A and B are shown apart, each in its own frame.
Chain A
Amino acid sequence: NAGVTQTPKFQVLKTGQSMTLQCAQDMNHEYMSWYRQDPGMGLRLIHYSVGAGITDQGEVPNGYNVSRSTTEDFPLRLLSAAPSQTSVYFCASSIHEGGTDTQYFGPGTRLTVL
């Protein structure tokens, strides 16, 4: 299994540009999430999904859209990039079974908005 994959690894955008961060998992997990992490900070939830066709907002959803058309893919779209969106973005998928609750993270996308 590849686990959780994210592309691209690095991205530089100009203010106002839009782009999509890709996320895929091959573990058949129902739950997927997007987080952003600013330097020296914790993880803040942007959007999450509890299954194909179902998404909901996290703590910091403004400026981002998501969709979940398949179990495997959960892309994050930046509508009009702003310097405040410079951050590291992590996608994660999770499974809750057998008395455990484990979230698997992708390697992250490092985004800079100029």
Chain B
Amino acid sequence: GQSLEQPSEVTAVEGAIVQINCTYQTSGFYGLSWYQQHDGGAPTFLSYNALDGLEETGRFSSFLSRSDSYGYLLLQELQMKDSASYFCAVRDLDSWGKLQFGAGTQVVVTP
């Protein structure tokens, strides 16, 4: 089976940096993904890590440590539009079509 854990909520001010941690347990691991979802919208893909290390995409970065079964999403120079829910997800190697999501972290950006 699989399980993913991430904090339920993080609050920060505009311009700050926020780190959302995700720990996972899975019988087979291929990679860790991150998705963003605004209220009333659909999830959208942010990043994917298959190998250890940091992947940077503009203000967002994602990190993976396979040995620790741990990853994080780093949001820099926070903007009001970054207020959303962020989900980590892993794909089950035993059932390749299955992508399992964590419960999500709500990020609240305040002025």
- A45-B98, A50-B96 known; 5 other A-B pairs, CB under 8 Å? A49-B97, A90-B43, A101-B91, A102-B33, A104-B45
Q: Report the separation of the CA atoms of residues A107 and B51 in the bound assembly, to the nearest whole angstrom.
A: 31
Are B99 and A45 neighbours in the complex by a CB distance under 8 Å?
Answer: yes
Which residue numbers of A lie inside 8 Å of B, CB to CB?
Answer: 31, 33, 35, 41-43, 45, 48-50, 56, 58-59, 90, 92, 94, 96, 99-108
In this assembly, does B74 line the interface, its C-beta being within 8 Å of a C-beta of chain A? no
Q: A43-B87, A101-B31, A101-B33 are in contact. Are A48 and B44 (CB under 8 A)?
A: no
Contact residues of A: prevailing secondary structure: strand
Are B99 and A108 neighbours in the complex by a CB distance under 8 Å?
Answer: no
Q: Report the separation of the CA atoms of residues A56 and B92 in the bound assembly, to the nearest whole angstrom.
A: 13
Q: Report the separation of the CA atoms of residues A108 and B33 in the bound assembly, to the nearest whole angstrom.
A: 20
Q: A42-B101, A99-B50, A101-B30 are in contact. Are A56 and B95 (CB under 8 A)?
A: yes
Residues of A within 8 A of B104 (CB): 41-42
Residues of A within 8 A of B91 (CB): 101
In this assembly, does B70 line the interface, its C-beta being within 8 Å of a C-beta of chain A? no
Of B50, B87, B98, B101, the residue contacting A48 (CB under 8 A) is: B98
